[in-house]
């Protein structure tokens, strides 16, 4: 059984990390989680970003958050990526597989995956 | 919605939007019925708005004039021969006891009963999206019970936020294990 002791260990680890995190280059991944997004499959897309950002060691400068309806329900699941000093990138009709590709090429490699963006939909 | 757990996620999002600080997600199963109850202490709704919420052309969203969340749940419950109820107290009239309770009862034996699906993902998604809310989750089944109160986790975590990914993954693992023990 998963124990609260494990959770306490996570706490110790994180408290040591906090200082290091401040001031790092921030990338924000925002997933639309209104009725339209949820019905179209946003939940697994969100969870893929949350888990993979952690697994790939990106959690230092990438935060994954949720938002309501972005207004383009026909293109859901929609993911927006905000990066300081760059234009917002909107990915549409996302899936877990596409999310993994975006993490690899865009978040890690710095190259926008044009074929999944709003402009190419 | 392909899974009932997605309806649960969607309806609980209304509690987030109502600025609740505590949300109770209570699922109760018998051999024949599945009852979901989502209760919050958010701002609540006034009586005239409450009367219209089952109508798809009633919504709080500002990006368009259609709101499908509650109509979807109502349909999912009624198509199994179940029932749906929503009660609410608006903060202007009930300053000390405001909030909303949404209850849907499903007949599990109906061919139109939507399976629950990935309820663990729904709970972790809610906590990850709104870590400052106290989430009190309880799922009672004929063979056992799975429950989680984020306040208990916060006591252990001190200042480490609930939306920390490692914490979210711990919660996911914790719930998955708890469910496997009820099988």
Q: In this model, does residue A22 exceed pLDDT 50?
A: no
Rounded mean pLDDT, B34-41: 98
Q: How far is B32 from chain A (nearest CA, A)?
A: 26
What ipTM was assigned to the predicted interfaces of this complex? 0.87
What does the pLDDT average to over A59-65?
88
CB B42 within 8 A of CB B19: yes
Looking at the partner chain, which of A7, A53, A68 has a beta carbon nearest the beta carbon of B153?
Answer: A7
Distance of CA A1 to the CA centre of its chain: 29
The mean pLDDT of chain B is: 92
pLDDT of residue A18: 56
pTM (2 d.p.): 0.91
**CATH of the structural domain B4-180, one choice from 1.10.260, 2.60.460, 3.30.565, 1.10.3470:** 3.30.565
pLDDT bracket for residue A66 (50, 70, 90)? very high
Residue-range domain boundaries for chain B: 4-180
Question: Has domain A26-120 been given CATH number 3.90.25.10?
Answer: no
Reported as a pLDDT band with limits 50, 70 and 90, residue A26 is confident
Q: What is the distance between the alpha carbons of residues A62 and A55, in angstroms, rounded to a whole number?
A: 12
Measured distance CA(A73)–CA(B60) in Å, rounded: 16
B17: contact with A, CB 8 A cutoff:
yes
The full 3-state SS of A18-30, as one line of letters, equals HHHHCCCCCEEEE
Residue of A121, A105, A96, A110 whose CA lies nearest to A31: A96
In this complex, do B13 and A70 lie within 8 Å of one another by their Cβ atoms? no
pLDDT value of residue A69:
87
Would you state the pLDDT for residue B55? 77
């Amino acid at each position: 059984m998963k124990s609260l002791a494990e959770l306490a260990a996570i706490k110790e680890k994180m408290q040591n990390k906090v200082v290091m995190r401040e001031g790092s280059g921030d990338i924000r991944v925002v997933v639309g989680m209104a009725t339209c997004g949820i019905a179209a499959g946003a939940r697994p897309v969100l969870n893929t970003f949350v888990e993979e950002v952690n697994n790939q060691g990106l959690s230092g400068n990438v935060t994954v958050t949720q938002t309501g309806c972005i207004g383009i329900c026909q293109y859901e699941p929609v993911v927006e990526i905000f990066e300081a000093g760059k234009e917002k990138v909107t990915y549409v009709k996302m899936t877990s597989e596409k999310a993994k590709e975006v993490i690899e090429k865009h978040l890690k490699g710095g190259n926008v995956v044009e074929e999944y963006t709003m402009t190419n939909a | 919605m392909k899974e009932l757990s997605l309806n649960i996620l969607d309806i609980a999002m209304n509690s987030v939007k109502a600025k609740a600080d505590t949300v109770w997600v209570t699922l109760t199963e018998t051999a024949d019925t599945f009852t979901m109850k989502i209760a919050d202490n958010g701002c609540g709704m006034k009586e005239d708005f409450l009367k219209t919420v089952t109508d798809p052309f009633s919504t709080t969203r500002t990006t368009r004039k259609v709101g499908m969340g509650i109509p979807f749940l109502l349909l999912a419950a009624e198509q199994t021969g179940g029932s749906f109820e929503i009660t609410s107290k608006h903060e202007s009239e009930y300053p000390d006891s405001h909030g909303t309770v949404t209850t849907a009862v499903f007949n599990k034996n109906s061919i139109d009963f939507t399976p629950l699906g990935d309820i663990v993902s729904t709970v972790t998604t809610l906590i990850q999206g709104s870590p400052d809310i106290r989430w009190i989750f309880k799922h009672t089944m004929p063979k056992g019970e799975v429950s989680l109160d984020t306040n208990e986790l916060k006591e252990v975590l001190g200042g480490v936020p609930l939306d920390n990914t490692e914490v979210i993954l711990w919660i996911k693992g914790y719930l998955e294990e708890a469910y496997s023990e009820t099988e």
